[in-house]
Amino acid sequence: MGAAGSARGSGGIAHVGIAVRSIEEARGFWEALGLVVEHVEEVPHEGVRVAMIPCGTSRIELLEPTREDSPIATFLAKRGPGIHHLCLASDDVAADDRRLRELGFTLLRPEPTAGAEGTRVQFVHPKSAGGVLVELAEEP
């Protein structure tokens, strides 16, 4: 099964991405639940600032746009704040990318790119994934 791919769920749901207008405004709800923002980072080429909030073995990722042409700004304009994507841990995102492409699924980018915290990430188009934007993330 070696060639069958890597995102088989052993790493679980790495995080749930939530689009917010402001991390500063949005974090209070999660903190009221006793969760703690462990990490805030800007990802300039994505036009976002992300706040990572550990939650059990997974995390909540708050995504705030840093410019008008950010995909998160577009999402907020169309749909308002809310769940944006589901991220699965992958131990070989390049292999997942290749396999999904061969199987005819639509990926958002020509190849995996740099994500937050040194990860390599790819996104599966919602039309290929039952209406859900799925991120695959490989730890550095």
Say whether 108 sits in a helix, a strand or coil. Answer: coil
Cβ nearer to Co ion, comparing 60 with 100 = 60
Cβ nearer to Co ion, comparing 58 with 128 = 58
Tell the smallest beta-carbon distance from residue 2 to Co ion (Å): 27
User: What is the contact surface with Co ion in residues (CB under 5 A)?
Assistant: 17, 61, 87, 135
Cβ nearer to Co ion, comparing 3 with 133 = 133
Tell the smallest beta-carbon distance from residue 36 to Co ion (Å): 18
Give the residue nearest to Co ion (CB). 17
* DSSP state letter for 109: S
Cβ nearer to Co ion, comparing 61 with 138 = 61
Which residues, 6 or more positions from 106, have their beta carbon under 8 angstroms from its beta carbon?
A: 124, 125, 127, 128
Q: What are phi and psi of 45, to 5 degrees?
A: -70, -15
In this structure, are residues 87 and 15 in contact, taking their beta carbons and an 8 Å threshold?
A: yes
The span from the CA of 100 to the CA of 42, in Å, is 29
Tell the smallest beta-carbon distance from residue 84 to Co ion (Å): 8
